[in-house]
A and B are shown apart, each in its own frame.
Chain A
Amino acid sequence: MTDPDKETRRDKVLRDFDAACARPTVEQITEWTARHPEFADDIRDFAGVLWDEAAAGRQGEEAEVDEIHLARARSHAFNVLHDVRGGDASVVAREADATFDRLMQDAGWTTVALEGAMDLSREVLSDLFRGRMAPPVGQRLVDAVIGYLRTTEARFMQAYEHALARPSLGQARANRQPSIVRRSFADIVRASDMTPERKAYWLEED
Chain B
Amino acid sequence: MDCEEDEPEPYDVAGWRRRIESATLGTVRPAALVCAVQDMDPAEKRTVGALLAEVSVRITRILRNFIGTNHPNQGWDLIEDTRNTLLQAVLKPTSADGRALRTAFAGTVRYRARDAIRADRKHRDLIDYALDEDELPRRDLTATPNLEQDAHVESVLRRIEDPRKRLALRLFMDGAQRNSTIGFSIASALDVSAKTVETWIRDLQAELRTIAGDRR
Judge whether B189 and A33 touch: CB under 8 Å: yes
Judge whether B115 and A41 touch: CB under 8 Å: no
The answer to whether A46 and B53 touch (CB under 8 A), given A52-B166, A91-B45, is no
Interface stretch, picked from B1-9, B60-68, B198-206, is B60-68
Interface stretch, picked from B117-125, B132-140, B141-149, B207-215, is B117-125
The answer to whether A152 and B53 touch (CB under 8 A), given A26-B186, A65-B60, A69-B76, is yes
Chain B residue nearest in CB terms to A66: B64
B121 to chain A, nearest CB (A): 6
Residues of B contacting A42 with CB < 8 Å? 118, 122
Judge whether B106 and A61 touch: CB under 8 Å: yes
Judge whether B166 and A85 touch: CB under 8 Å: no
Q: Say if the beta carbon of A111 comes within 8 Å of chain B.
A: no
CA distance in complex: A47, B92 (Å): 29
B131 to chain A, nearest CB (A): 13
Q: Say if the beta carbon of A88 comes within 8 Å of chain B.
A: yes
Judge whether B57 and A44 touch: CB under 8 Å: no
- CB < 8 Å neighbour of B56 from A41, A49, A76: A76
- Residues of A within 8 Å of B, CB-based: how many? 55
Count, A-B residue pairs, CB within 8 A: 157
A153 to chain B, nearest CB (A): 9
Interface stretch, picked from A11-19, A130-138, A192-200, is A11-19
Residues of B contacting A49 with CB < 8 Å? 114, 117-118, 121, 163
CA distance in complex: A45, B46 (Å): 41
CA distance in complex: A77, B54 (Å): 8
Within 8 A of B (CB), among A1-55: 8, 11-12, 14-15, 18-19, 23, 25-27, 29-30, 33, 40-42, 44-53, 55
The answer to whether A78 and B53 touch (CB under 8 A), given A45-B121, A92-B46, is yes
Within 8 A of B (CB), among A57-84: 58, 60-65, 69-70, 72-78, 80-81, 84
